[in-house]
Structure 1
Amino acid sequence: MPPHAAKPHIGQRITQQYADLSAQEQRVASFILDHFDDLATFSAADLARLTGVSKSTVSRLFKRLGFESFASVKTHARSLRALGVPLVTEGAGGGEERFKRHVARETDNLSRLYAGLSSADFEAVVTALDGARRVTLIGFRNSYPLAMHFRQQLVQVRDDVTLAPQPNQTLAEELVSLQAQDLVVVFGFRRRPQVFERLMALLAQRESRVLLIGDATAGDQARWASWWIECPLDSVSAFDSYASAMSLVCLLTNALLQRRLAQGRARIDAISTLFDALDELALPLP
């Protein structure tokens, strides 16, 4: 294995060895994958009881997968989830139970977002969105659609809103003309590219204000930002949920529209007039 290659995660290890496991070990391995998000709530004894095997079978499985104990399995699982590694699970259950667990997790994410966001910081961000000469939105990988959606909302309300990096283009060309009157909004959700930290440090060296929006793993980059808003991504299954980030984008844009209502209404009307002139949208008949 190359020196910097990551070791296989537990899902990969189970897949690679599943055929060679005993029937009882397979039962435990399947249970681990099916309840991955709840793994921290179980003990080794719980696993043995819930799968109908002996504790020695559970311990033997951990050894075969390369773990010293169940505690190391849970530590491994927490680190994977924090990094955003999607593991296929059935943890959400089925039928109405799936919906209930999903709604509960989404509600918890939203509650944590707004509990951690002070009204003073929120108003300061809206003021910056209103007064900036230009707003530049930056997002990589899963953060890119969020940045793109925020731009689509902001251009309804104000002008000079840009998105970076453009497809197959460089950041340098987008950032070279930043000025003190500008606002840069950086979406920094987990599994960020290596350039991210260098980008944040570079932005801090310039005079523009910076709003960082991301999950908890971006918290160590908050030292470079003027404002930092944490959006939880927790979900009941393999993939992260960005509902809290989309909710924040909606709230910020609506607050900005209320801040500049006359200009916003005029711009929305002008956009609608151009829609009609260009016949771009298939609008429903009244």
Structure 2
Amino acid sequence: MSAAAAPMRLDERIARHRAELSPQERRAADTLLENLDDLATYRAAELADLAGVSKATMSRLFRSLGFAGFDEVRDHLRTLRSSGLPQRVEGTPDMEALAASEAAHVAAAISQPGIADAVEWIAAADQVLILGWRGSYSVALNLRHQLMQARGHVTVGPVPGQAVGEDISSLGPGSVLVVYGFRRRPRLFGSLLAAAAATGAKVVLIADPTAITHVAHVSLWLECQVETTLAFDSYAAAATLTSVIADGVLSRLGSAAHDRVSRIASAYEEIGEVE
């Protein structure tokens, strides 16, 4: 059975087959688990040395777990990384190359022509709802913070203890929903977008390429790459795109937005909230 045919993670395979392994293979399996975060950066011979077993034992372990060899294990780990699982698969990252890659991702994100539509819709909306989950939530919260400087009636969710349906039910033809949908999205994601679109609201999806299956339900898709050579996804492009959208809304609303900025600054001073 190949790794491609079995989506079960490596650690799950080890747990399932552990009772069938020889003592030497169990020692080798324990070494794989101890080094799981950067396993793909090793060679098979290095892992055998770490475990204190022969290369033949390590090869038998791979076959027992359903892999043809360590190259297939690496492919399996890359597949998991592409789904958003945090782990390093390319060795120690080259920081100069990483910076160049991030810059390219940012440039691609902020050069999309659809940004103008997003800005126009958000500036003119009766209300703006912003949704994000897990890592996406921090970016959603940042957009809410920035838009609130320029206009009112901006909310973010999901709020703890509140169902998302409560937010969606308030949407209508004059509303805009901005959804951050980076990989490892909640299972309700597709049905949520469909329900939001049915309200007549404009739906803006900001997401990485894995969200392409959901594009049919949205008014606009703004793509942001999050994958890097690091173990965790990067939201640098998404954060920059967020600032570009908020800046556009501030500019679009003109004097009304700048008056609001002044009132907020005065409120900060009056209550001593900000240094």
Q: Is TM > 0.5 for Structure 1 vs Structure 2?
A: yes
| Number of residues of Structure 1 aligned to a counterpart in Structure 2 | 262
Q: Which residue of 1 aligns with 2:114?
A: 121
CA distance in 1, matches of 2:113, 2:233: 29
CA distance in 2, matches of 1:7, 1:151: 37
Instruction: Report if aligned partners of 2:24, 2:57 keep a CA contact under 8 Å in 1.
Output: no
Name which of 175, 185, 190 aligns with 1:192: 185
CA distance in 1, matches of 2:36, 2:168: 46
Instruction: Report if aligned partners of 1:106, 1:243 keep a CA contact under 8 Å in 2.
Output: no
Name the aligned partner's letter for residue 195 of structure 1. Answer: L
Instruction: Report if aligned partners of 1:113, 1:230 keep a CA contact under 8 Å in 2.
Output: no
Q: 1:28 to 1:191 in 2, by over 3 A?
A: closer
CA distance in 2, matches of 1:242, 1:114: 13
1:10-49 pair list within 5 angstroms: 10=10, 20-21=24-25, 34=38, 36=40, 47=43
Name which of 249, 253, 272 aligns with 1:279: 272
Q: Which residue of 2 aligns with 1:9?
A: 9
* Deviations, residues 221-273 of structure 1 (Å, cap 9, x unaligned): 11111111121112333221111111111121122222233222211110011
Q: Which residue of 2 aligns with 1:83?
A: 83
Name the aligned partner's letter for residue 264 of structure 1. Answer: A
3-state DSSP class of the match of 1:184?
strand
Q: 1:84 to 1:126 in 2, by over 3 A?
A: same
Q: 1:92 to 1:260 in 2, by over 3 A?
A: farther
1:123-272 pair list within 5 angstroms: 123-272=116-265
Quote the offset at 1:118 in angstroms.
4.9
Quote the offset at 1:75 in angstroms.
3.6
Quote the offset at 1:117 in angstroms.
5.9
Note the residue ranges of structure 1 that are not aligned, 5 or more in a row: 1-5, 40-46
Q: 1:145 to 1:197 in 2, by over 3 A?
A: same
Q: Give the alignment's TM-score, normalised by structure 1.
A: 0.77
Q: 1:51 to 1:171 in 2, by over 3 A?
A: closer
Quote the offset at 1:91 in angstroms.
5.5
Name the aligned partner's letter for residue 153 of structure 1. Answer: Q
Name the aligned partner's letter for residue 60 of structure 2. Answer: R
Q: 1:229 to 1:35 in 2, by over 3 A?
A: farther
Name the aligned partner's letter for residue 38 of structure 2. Answer: D
Q: 1:49 to 1:173 in 2, by over 3 A?
A: closer
Name the aligned partner's letter for residue 84 of structure 2. Answer: G
Quote the offset at 1:141 in angstroms.
2.0
* Deviations, residues 134-191 of structure 1 (Å, cap 9, x unaligned): 1110112222121111101110111111112221101222222212121100011111
Q: Which residue of 2 aligns with 1:72?
A: 72
Q: Give the alignment's TM-score, normalised by structure 2.
A: 0.79
3-state DSSP class of the match of 1:228?
strand
Name the aligned partner's letter for residue 78 of structure 2. Answer: R
CA distance in 1, matches of 2:218, 2:89: 38
Quote the offset at 1:207 in angstroms.
0.8
Q: 1:153 to 1:64 in 2, by over 3 A?
A: same
CA distance in 2, matches of 1:85, 1:111: 23
3-state DSSP class of the match of 1:241?
coil
Quote the offset at 1:79 in angstroms.
2.3
CA distance in 1, matches of 2:80, 2:9: 8
